[in-house]
Amino acid sequence: MPEIVSIYREPLGVYLNSFEGPYIQSVIRHLEEKTKHLLDKKDVCAYIKAISSLIEIEEQQGKTLLLPDSRTELRNMLNYSFIESSVDRIYSALPTIFESGNRDDLKMIYSLLNRIHGLPRLVPMCREFETYIFKHIINKSPAPTVADDNADVSTGTEVPYTSIFIDTILSTMEQLEQLLSECFDKNESFVEGKNSAFIKAVNSPELRDRCKSVPMRLLAEYFNLILRANNATARKAEASSTDPEMAITAEIRRVLRLYKLSKSRDMFLNQYELHLARRLLNEQSVSLELERTVVTMISTTESMEITTKLKDMLTDIDTSHDMSRSFSQKIIEDRSVSVSDVYIKVLKESSWPSVIMAERAEWDSPPAQLAEICEKFTGAYNERHSAYDKGHSGRDTAKRRLRWMWEYSKCSIQFFFPHSTGRIARTGYTFVLNTYQLAILMLFTESAGLGSGYDSPTGPRFTLEQIRLSTKIDELYIKAELAIFYKARILIPVTVNSRTLVQLNDKYNSKRLRIDISAIKRVRRAQEEEKVAKKTIEDRRWYMMSDITYTMKGRKTMEFNELFFEVAKKRAGVFEVTRDEYKDALEKVIDRDIVKRGDGNDRKTLYYMA
State the Rg of the chain over Cα.
36
Rounded mean pLDDT, 365-371? 73
Residue 356 has pLDDT above 90, yes or no: no
Residue type, 364: D
User: What is the percentage of the chain residues whose pLDDT exceeds 90?
Assistant: 15
Confidence of residue 335 (pLDDT cuts 50, 70, 90): low
Contact at 8 Å (CB) between 135 and 127?
Answer: no
pLDDT in tens, 214-225: 899 899 999 998
The region, left, alpha or beta by phi > 0 then psi within -120 to 50, assigned to residue 459 is: left
- 64, with CB counted inside 10 A (0-12, 13-18, 19+), is exposed
pLDDT score, position 194:
92
> In terms of pLDDT, which residue wins out, 390 or 257?
257
pLDDT score, position 157:
45
Using the Cα atoms of residue 120, residue 124, residue 128 and residue 134 in order, give the sign of their dihedral. Answer: positive
Global confidence as pTM: 0.77
Instruction: Count other Cβ atoms within 10 Å, centred on residue 63.
Output: 10
| Phi, psi of 542, deg, nearest 5 | -65, -40
The region, left, alpha or beta by phi > 0 then psi within -120 to 50, assigned to residue 417 is: beta
pLDDT in tens, 372-419: 778 888 887 887 776 555 444 444 445 567 778 777 777 788 787 776
> In terms of pLDDT, which residue wins out, 14 or 326?
326
Contact at 8 Å (CB) between 230 and 222?
Answer: no
Of 269, 409, 297, 292, the C-alpha closest to 347 is 409
Rounded mean pLDDT, 42-62? 80
Residue 196 has pLDDT above 90, yes or no: yes
pLDDT score, position 162:
87
pLDDT score, position 13:
63
- Reduce the secondary structure of 406-466 to three states and give it as a string: HHHCEEEEEECCCCCCCHHHHHCEEEEEEHHHHHHHHHHCHHHCCCCCCCCCCCCEECHHH
- Count the helices and strands in the chain (H runs, E runs): 27, 9
Q: Work out the mean pLDDT of the chain and round it to a whole number.
A: 80
